[in-house]
Amino acid sequence: MKVLIIEDEELAVKKLQKTLASVDATAEVVGVADSIRSSVSWLQQNPSPDLILMDIELADGQSFEIFDKVEVKSTVIFTTSYDEYALKAFKVNSIDYLLKPIQKEDLHAALEKLKGLKTLYANNTAAPSLNVDNLVKELQQKLQPKEYRKRFLVKHAQKLVSVDVEEIAYFYSDGRLNFFKTTDNRKFVVDYTMDDLEDMLDPDQFFRISRAFYVAVNSIDQIHDYFGNRLLLNLKPIVDKEAIVSREKVTDFKKWMGK
């Protein structure tokens, strides 16, 4: 099996070569590239290897750019320092990923998976090819910082007012309408459902404590134990209904408050 390593840390390359040799004696490293530019050049000038071990973060950018500049016909296993929970969804794809520092057993499992897939595809003419286009797009979307809502345009009397999210203390519902209150105690109707807001609000700043409440971390004045293994929040400014953390949200809420 011919392998191309795309990695910009010399020590990581040496370790990867050593680990690769220990798990697959047939693996031959046919090239090493340390940047997007050198990777594109290598792929343009050489036959496609069987496998590319590709670091996501390179000195001159994310390796996803390689796929925009040259056709990659090889199977790719990404190597990355990203948290495994951000990437666990991609374990089910035909391409794997390895978390740094790369462990021998993880690389072995990935290569075994590759062999199994190739055998499957060889015996099934209707099976898709091992290309990376769809996964690259998904990874780009996953790893690029998400843009959250910065302001809301709301009605006030006969006018429209733009309110920055940083000014909002909490969102809540009365069952018919959804509102938010600002830190200076102004109240506005917001034309989004609580579920809509879940995709709009930065989870580092806002937490949905129940079906009816989203609170900003800076709006929480006091936290009290409440019956039914729930929590009661005193919010600022004062809210005209009880802000209760539902039982199933309590554990996550405590983790969020302790970040």
The CATH number given to whatever domain includes residue 205 is 2.40.50.1020
Please check whether residues 158 and 138 belong to one and the same domain: no
Q: Model-level pTM?
A: 0.50
Least-confidence region, from 124-133, 157-166, 250-259: 124-133
Q: Are residues 19 and 125 in the same domain?
A: yes
185 with 120, same domain: the answer is: no
Same domain, yes or no: 37 and 113 = yes
Find tokens 């709006």 and name the residue: 219
Number of structural domains (the chain) is 2
| pLDDT band at 130; cut points 50, 70, 90 | very low
Going by pLDDT thresholds of 50, 70 and 90, the confidence category of residue 167 is very high
Q: At 13, which CATH number?
A: 3.40.50.2300
Q: Is 17 helix (H, G, I), strand (E, B) or coil?
A: helix
Co-location of 187 and 112 in the same domain: no
CA distances from 116 to 91, 94, 108, 126, 161 (A): 14, 10, 12, 16, 59
pLDDT on residue 55: 86
Q: Based on the domain organization, do 130 and 199 belong to the same domain?
A: no
What is the rounded average pLDDT of the residues 53-63? 85
Q: What share of the chain has pLDDT > 70, as a percent?
A: 79
Q: Are residues 10 and 66 in the same domain?
A: yes
Containing domain of residue 156, as a range? 151-257
Residues 127 and 67 in one domain: yes
Output the average pLDDT for the chain.
Answer: 83
Q: How far apart are CA 179 and CA 138, in angstroms?
A: 34
Is there a single domain that holds both residue 128 and residue 47?
Answer: yes
- For the beta sheet containing 2-6, the strands, ordered from the edge strand earlier in sequence to the opposite edge, are 28-33, 2-6, 51-55, 75-80, 97-99
